[in-house]
Amino acid sequence: MKQTANKRQLAKLIQQVERLAPADKPLNIMEVCGAHTMAIGKSGLRQLLPDNIRLLSGPGCPVCVTHDCEIEVYLELARQRNVIIATFGDLLRVPGKKGSSLADARGQGAKVSVVYSTLDALKLAKKNPGKEVVFLGAGFETTAPTVAMSVIQAQEEGIENFSVYSLHKLVPPVLEALLLDKEVKIDGFILPGHVSTIIGVEPYYFLAREYHKAGVITGFETHDILQGLVMLLGQIREDNPCVEIQYRGGVLPRGNPIARQVIARVFEPADAWWRGLGLIPKSGLRIRESFRNYDTRKKFNIPEPHPDDKEESNKICACGDILKGIKLPQECRLFGRACTPLNPVGPCMVSSEGACAAYYRFTENGGGWNEGR
């Protein structure tokens, strides 16, 4: 009975979407969260919505947006004999400029350890006092607090052989960069639920105030996403863009002030390189001077990227355009042919939250559309 009721609820929400969708023009709605990308793919929502509503997957996958120049830095660190790289699993297979990855480096003798938390990385440093443990801090505002706490703990405990290579990115600045890009056409945003538990609503207000764009912070179940779409379409239809919360069970308007205080204690905003989007001002996090001993960049005297470092590795791979919503995964020449989850060319196919991986797994145009049948 519960399953039947859920189906009826979803059917009503789809009818609401159909009723609110404009008949005279297409709409581009972008989600900016890897978990949303996977949820939309798994639910088959794209196939259920009106043809003129186009769901785009934006730069919401931290592995996907990590720039080649950052990958080359940690690959070089991995080759040093006294270094152990501690990383989450998704970064293992991301190829750098020359096609090599951390997995390749490990196969050649580099010490690369997959960890499941920053505490695991700290334990690794304690167990290996003669080695430098470098934790790859990839993620958005969601993961930054735990990484910041590991730095604070390392300082308090005097763990001197631990450092963080911060690859953290911030969501609001990249949304603005997308809206300033003349190639990008977006009518509204399905805003990330997890990130918003930390930052709250206020950082998104500029979307409506300065760019007249709709935004809804949305949960991850199919009915959450459909409700978010209904709210977005209502804003667009009434020409009254604002930022609303659909995910009220997880997001407070003020977010999590304590988590933000922890982030601010250890990190400060800095310019950051994004795959496909280039250098975006104040869109990353760097470790403050008071924690410089735990900043990989300073400990290893890593220079700022040179002009050569700013070129993307594979010009045929369309990952950059996919992250901006200019192309869909199946519009890449490599998708499903030269680039598959078993043999990924670009990071959007490597990460479990990447748009290409989701399309490949869950759509008929990919290789796994019949998964589970």
User: Do residue 48 and residue 86 come from a single domain?
Assistant: no
Domain enclosing residue 41, as ranges: 7-60+183-245
**Residue 88: its pLDDT value, please?**
94
Q: Is residue 370 part of a domain?
A: no
- The pLDDT assigned to 5 comes to 56
Q: Does one domain contain both 99 and 136? A: yes
Over residues 219-255, the pLDDT tens digits come to: 999 999 999 999 999 999 999 999 999 999 999 999 9
Note the Cα 296 to chain centre separation in Å: 22
Contact 324, 58 (CB under 8 A): yes
- Per the domain annotation, does 106 fall within a domain? yes
pLDDT band, residue 352 (cuts 50/70/90): confident
CATH number of the domain that 111 lies in? 3.40.50.11740
Q: What is the CATH number of the domain that holds 36?
A: 3.40.50.11750
Identify any residues that bridge with 111 across adjacent strands, giving them in sequence order. Answer: 84
* CA atoms 273, 276, 280, 286: torsion sign: negative
Q: What is the pLDDT of residues 276-287, one digit of tens each?
A: 899 999 999 999
User: 52 with 110, same domain?
Assistant: no
pLDDT of residue 306: 63
pLDDT value for 309: 43
* Residue 286 located in a structural domain: yes
Q: Which residues pair with 169 in a beta bridge?
A: 284
In a domain, 369, yes or no: no
Q: What is the pLDDT of residue 6?
A: 83
Least confident of 64-78, 89-103, 272-286: 89-103
Integer CA distances (angstroms), 188 to 6, 55, 125, 263, 311, in order: 26, 10, 44, 28, 30
Same domain as 149, residue 86: yes
Question: Are 142 and 281 found together in one domain?
Answer: yes
The count of structural domains within the chain is 3
Q: Verify that 137 and 267 share a domain, yes or no.
A: yes
Same domain for 219 and 117: no
Residue 83 burial by Cβ neighbours in a 10 Å radius (0-12, 13-18, 19+): buried
Same domain, 138 and 266: yes
Shared-domain flag, residues 227 and 304? no
Query: What's residue 364's pLDDT?
Result: 61
Q: Do 87 and 132 reside in the same domain of the chain?
A: yes
- Verify that 77 and 166 share a domain, yes or no: yes
Q: How far apart are CA 132 and CA 234, in angstroms?
A: 53
